[in-house]
Amino acid sequence: MVILIALVPFYIFIPELVPAAKRYVPELALDRAFPLVPAWALVYGALYAFLILLPIFVVRQEDHIRRTVYSYLFIWITAYFFFVLFPTVAPRPRTVDGEGFAAWGLRLLYSSDPPYNCFPSLHVAHSFVSALTCSRVHRRVGIVAVICAAVVALSTLYTKQHYVADVLAGLVMACIAYLIFLRGYSRERVPLVDHRVAPALALCVAGVVSVGVAGYWLLYCCGAASR
């Protein structure tokens, strides 16, 4: 966990090491089929937060926790190699037109996340690893989480945070991490009490995320009222 947390700041510093002229644009024809839809920024933030928190509540056994952390380390370290060797820039528009909570949220997203480090998508890889590790505890919770991860992947395209190639690479990276570290953890090793409480814990996480979204809504309303 210490190593994983220590790796996170490099996400911001890596783009500073790469000259702007050497950044690639891995756009496919399919990318143009996804228009910019600001409302997807809410999905991008809320469901990703749900998938970040879910394993913290659901994955409770020491060996399973260790395997999950190894999976995260694998995708972060692998992604960093690509960020240095194949630097890319996100397909963002210069400005986000429109008013309302969704447009405000998308502008907030753009201002907080640099448009670099796109290939592979850490957002997608992290989401699917979180979902897949929870599937080892409870199959139905895992299925719902995988669906959420797939929606997160779509949101990265509709918010123009990533290209299709980024999403596919992130998915592949998550699947490799699952096969190496998580598939070998048998569901039979999960205590019955952990299996039974997993759905309730997932609902608690959803509630926490909902409160967070409501907080952002209040923040937006306060800002709008002050203008």
Per-residue pLDDT in tens (0 to 9) along the chain, 227 residues: 788 888 888 888 888 777 766 889 999 999 999 999 999 999 999 999 999 999 999 999 999 999 999 999 999 999 999 998 999 999 898 888 888 999 999 999 998 888 899 999 999 999 999 999 999 999 999 999 999 999 999 999 999 999 999 999 999 999 999 999 999 999 999 999 999 999 999 999 999 999 999 999 999 998 766 66
pTM above 0.85, yes or no: yes
Residue 168: its pLDDT value, please?
A: 97
Taking only the tens place, the pLDDT of each residue in 133-171 is 999 999 999 999 999 999 999 999 999 999 999 999 999
Please state the domain extents for the chain. Answer: 34-226
Report how far residue 70's alpha carbon sits from residue 75's, in angstroms, rounded to the nearest whole number. Answer: 9
* Tens digits of residue pLDDT in 185-209: 999 999 999 999 999 999 999 999 9
Which positions ≥6 away from 166 have C-beta within 8 Å? 26, 88, 118, 119, 120, 121, 124, 156
Residue 1's pLDDT is 74
Instruction: Could you list the beta-strand ranges (E) of 47-203.
Output: none
User: Is the backbone peptide bond immediately before 55 cis, with ω within 30 degrees of 0?
Assistant: no
Distance, CA of 154 to CA of 164 (rounded, Å): 9
